[in-house]
Amino acid sequence: IIGQRYLQDYAGRRLLVTAGPTIERLDAVRYMTNHSTGRMGYALAEAAASRGADVTLVSGPVQLTPPKGVRVVNVESAEDMFEAVKSRMDSQDIIIKAAAVADYTPESRLEGKLKKQEGNLELSFKRTTDILNYLGEHKTHQYLVGFAAETEQIEKYAKDKLKKKNADVIVANNVGDTSIGFKSADNAVQLFFKDGSTRVIEKMPKLDVAHEILTALKKDDHVR
């Protein structure tokens, strides 16, 4: 078809993408979050849908319009995201964890609005569920794509995550470089596959990076 950049190479594939930050509520008016804009995850959802995939986008709170033809599930906290992914994992072929999930959440949610007092405030945080780790432990047939946001020792940490979380590939992101990653329109990533192969995707707009990632997954014949 004229004007169509990509073949329908994901036709019939069911793909779930998580995107954006999570927000962890402290009290009635305050929360903890991060700088993720959701753009990389939304770009992946858009790219996959345009290539024929049946896409579910599990999204934290972002300022983006969901791509057309994508099923959207909006969530807030890491725990909400975990439930949303867990309940849908069985029906997916590919799960891409692009979300910047909070690692910690307040140990207890304060009722109402916290009033200020003399002296320092001390809060206690507990670990959230590591969703990718859960998927790695419980996957049956799903192809698992994790992300790794790193500021240093990118290759080492990405490979550690690949192994520890039993993912099929890790997409490593240098979040220390402000010209790419979190807030930027561009991204540059490196893929680390389970079989030891790697692929570099040079700096380009996030939608192009998304297409390159999907092509890399296909080309290496990791996703059938």
Taking CB under 6 A as the binding criterion, the range among 40-48, 93-101, 117-125, 200-208 that sits at the site for ligand CTP is: 93-101
With 0-12 / 13-18 / 19 or more C-beta atoms within 10 angstroms meaning exposed / middle / buried, residue 1 is: exposed
Give the DSSP H/E element, type plus range, for residue 143: strand 143-150
Q: Is 165 annotated as a binding residue?
A: yes
Q: Which residues bind Ca ion (CB under 5 A)?
A: 103
Give the angle subtended at the CA of 71 by the CAs of 69 and 76, to the nearest 5°: 135
- Is residue 148 within the footprint of ligand CTP (CB under 6 A)? yes
Residue 222 binding: pick among ligand CTP, Ca ion, none (C-beta 5-8 Å cut-off by kind): none
- Rounded Cα–Cα distance for residues 137 and 64 (Å): 32
Site string for ligand CTP, 111-140 (x = CB under 6 A): -----------------xxxxx--------
Q: Is 147 annotated as a binding residue?
A: yes
Residue 131 binding: pick among Ca ion, ligand CTP, none (C-beta 5-8 Å cut-off by kind): ligand CTP
- Is residue 149 within the footprint of ligand CTP (CB under 6 A)? yes
Count how many residues are written for the chain.
224
Instruction: Please report, for residues 95, 146, 170, 172, 192, the alpha-carbon distance to residue 158 in angstroms, rounded to integers and kept in the order given.
Output: 17, 9, 6, 6, 7
How large is the C-alpha radius of gyration of the chain? 18
Could you tell me which residues are annotated as the binding site for CTP? 103, 113, 147, 161, 165
- Interacting residues toward ligand CTP by CB under 6 A: 78, 97, 99, 101, 103, 128-132, 146-149, 161
Q: Active-site positions?
A: 34
